[in-house]
Amino acid sequence: MPGRPLKELMEHTADDLPPLPDLVPGAVALGRRRRNRSRALMALSAACVAGVAAFAVPAALPDDNAAGPGPASTPVIDTPRPTYSVVPEQDGNKPGVDQLPPLDKVEVQEFKQLAADMMQQVLPPAMGEIRLVNSHAAAFRAVSGSKTYEITFGVDKIPYGTLREQVCSPSGRIAACKAGTLPDGTPVAAERENTGEGSQMVGVGFPYKGKWVQFMLFPGGFGSGPNPPVTVEQMLTVVQDPRFIEFIDYAVAHPLNTPPPQTEAPNPSAYTGPPPSWNCVPATPLPAGQTPDKDTPMNCTLPTGPLPSWLAPPN
């Protein structure tokens, strides 16, 4: 949509995001395990000579499973990491979805610290240092000298109206695109999109293991700042990085407790029928001779699996 203000696009992007994954249980436990390990290492170092400690410390570390059995295949992120600072939102920045957890909760900050550490490792150095924006759980910022870039990152349930085929399709607003696959074969397409007045955003949005992954880089200052110094080729490499995959697996394994899926279209008047690639049937059988219309709840599926009912196309 040429000429669409970047601020409006960023607000729309945040509004489309569902509540971010509740990484509370895993993240809190993760912090405790790190602190326990740190104390164990300090105690052992004080008690043992260097030569003995070098061999004894690994065997003496606390056992994560000692308190009881845990999920056999739950991804765990358990490496030392720095602490990333929290910065205020810029004037006019919309806080995002009202249902997102408040950022003064320790658990949410812990999730954002983990996400920031992952981004710092996988994004190109030109993006600078990652910061946590104190507005909503999906908001981050990169700072490189006097340049800033806004970041939206989230992993949660598939939102209404966002599914599309992960291929590169020429478009007036798409400046560049690069399609590829994740290590498990999941298709993904990185795009650089013109957002008006020379501003561009670059990012990805794709379904993954029943969730929706969105990772978007925007110019700072709502379009007044420089465009993100990341090519679509680099963005594709970022999401293919094992460290990125490890983190989204971790997020998928610790989902937010969300309300039951809604059974009505968020905006029925905007519904014009599903794309041809969808296989849709009425949620409940219709009387003989009656055909579904825009007010008929539908259950739709793609080759990748079942989707929530009434996935209305975006406006």
pLDDT at 225: 85
Per-residue pLDDT at 219: 92
Domains of the chain, by residue range, sit at 6-24+104-253, 28-60
CA dist., res. 150 & res. 139, Å (int): 8
The pLDDT value recorded for residue 137 is 75
pLDDT at 125: 97
pLDDT in tens, 225-270: 899 999 999 999 999 999 999 999 988 887 644 333 333 333 434 4
Q: β-strands 86-87, 129-133: how paired?
A: parallel
Q: Do 260 and 309 meet the contact criterion of CB atoms below 8 Å apart?
A: no
The residue behind tokens 């700042």 is 225
pLDDT of residue 290: 78
As a whole number of angstroms, the distance between CA 91 and CA 221 comes to 9
Contact status, residue 211 vs residue 255, Cβ threshold 8 Å: yes
Helices (H), 123-156: none
Tell me what pLDDT residue 261 has.
37
* Selection from 216, 14, 207 nearest residue 119 by Cα: 216
Q: What is the pLDDT of residue 295?
A: 65
pLDDT at 75: 54
Provide φ and ψ at 34, rounded to 5°: -65, -45
> Which sign does the torsion angle of CA 174, 176, 179, 183 carry?
negative
- pLDDT, residue 274, reads 43
- 200 Cβ contact list (under 8 Å, min separation 6): 175, 192, 193, 194, 219, 227, 228
Residue 217: predicted pLDDT: 95
The DSSP result for 196-212, as a single string, is ETTEEEEEEEEEETTEE
Q: pLDDT means per 10 residues in the chain (315 residues)?
A: 53 53 47 45 38 36 42 50 58 40 60 90 96 81 93 79 70 88 94 87 91 91 83 97 94 60 38 46 78 67 41 36
Alpha helices in the chain (DSSP H): 6-16, 24-47, 50-60, 106-122, 232-240, 242-253
How far lies 8's CA from each of 3, 17, 155, 223, in Å? Answer: 11, 14, 22, 10
CA-based R_g, the chain, Å: 22
Closest Cα to residue 22, out of 254, 253, 238?
Answer: 254
- What confidence score (pLDDT) does residue 227 get? 93
Q: From residue 131, give the alpha-carbon distance in Å to each of 87, 183, 226, 300.
A: 7, 28, 17, 39
3-state SS of the chain: helix, strand, coil percent to 5? 30, 25, 45
Phi-psi map region of 285: left, alpha, beta (phi>0 left; psi -120 to 50 alpha):
beta
Structure tokens at 127: 């993006």
Per-residue confidence (pLDDT) for residue 150, from 0 to 100: 92
